[in-house]
Homo-oligomer: A and B are copies of this chain.
Amino acid sequence: MTSSDIFDQIVEKESFLCVGLDSDIQKLPKHLLRTDDPIFNFNKEIIDATHDIAVAYKPNLAFYESQGVEGWKSLQKTVDYLRQKYPEQYIIADAKRGDIGNTSALYARAFFENMDFDAVTVAPYMGEDSVKPFMNYEGKWVILLALTSNKGAFDFQFNENKKDGTKLFENVLKTSKKWGNNENMMYVVGATKAEMLRDIRVQVPHHFLLVPGVGAQGGSLREVVENGMNDRCGLLVNASRSIIFADDTEEFAAEARKSAKEVQVEMSELLKEYNLVK
């Protein structure tokens, strides 16, 4: 998938919403637990209810791995379902992987060949050879962690460099942008640190940013847009819990849609304000 494909979807749907499929079995509506594959059935209903207002879906691997072999089957079925029924969707494996080169290549195989994800989130600590194997696939993307939305982001990501005072996350942007381009790399930047988006745009003006932390984690959509939007939107804003767990009755999918719709309406207004849609 190209950045133009993503932007076309954004314009058509007036949305840059990514729905995080953090489908924790312990939080699923009870009636689904009696079905053959609760996690997949949950995802399917969420996807059917939100596909026309979301441009991307992002299963976080932890929620599937924690269910062992059954979880992997649910994940595979979810990706296959999206691919077949809603091929326009950008599908992100939120896996935060990264290992020495020959090993990262196998993770890439897992997510891009065995499963047909468009993108994988990758941790930068191990440097270039841990990231590049994910870029050996035409049309596939690395989404590198830069500034994360959690409290622990302050432990290392803001460390200032002796040489030029750049913070670690800035250094990650500055160094890694040479490894690829804005057709095969995005960056994770937490909405909870929206004020940093302005500095980040100095480093990567044209890249798409994947922004978690709006919703349950408390980030503001307007602040994200004011600091981070570029002339092709350049943002995929993720919300997980606030949408998928909006309700835990048999009405969960309709309630998820309502919750997603609220975000999309705000996104549509912002896109108009910035003259990206009419």
Contacts and interface: CB of A to CB of B under 8 A. Distances in A.
Interface string A168-190: 10011001000000000000000
A68, A131, A171 — most chain B CB neighbours (10 Å): A68
Given A151-B129, A175-B156, A103 B62 contact: yes
A129 B156 contact: no
Contact of A171 (B96, B150, B156): B156
Interface string A83-120: 00000000000101111110110110110001100000
A148 B96 contact: no
Interface string A183-216: 0000000000000000000000000000000000
| Chain A residues touching B, range | 35 or more
A60 B210 CA distance: 28
Interface string A217-251: 00000000000000000000000000000000000
Which 10 pairs between the two chains have the least Cβ-Cβ distance?
A127-B152, A127-B155, A62-B106, A160-B162, A66-B106, A100-B150, A65-B110, A129-B152, A66-B110, A62-B103
A137 interface: no
Nearest to A213: B100
A126 B106 contact: no
A101 B155 CA distance: 14
Nearest to A128: B152
Interface string A52-79: 0000000010110111110011001000
A161 interface: yes
A19 to B, nearest CB: 16
Contacts of A99: 60, 62, 94, 96
Given A62-B103, A99-B60, A161-B161, A150 B125 contact: no
A268 interface: no
A126 B98 contact: no
A33 interface: no
Given A100-B149, A127-B154, 13 more contacts: A22-B103, A62-B103, A66-B106, A66-B107, A68-B114, A69-B72, A96-B123, A125-B145, A127-B155, A128-B151, A129-B152, A131-B152, A162-B165
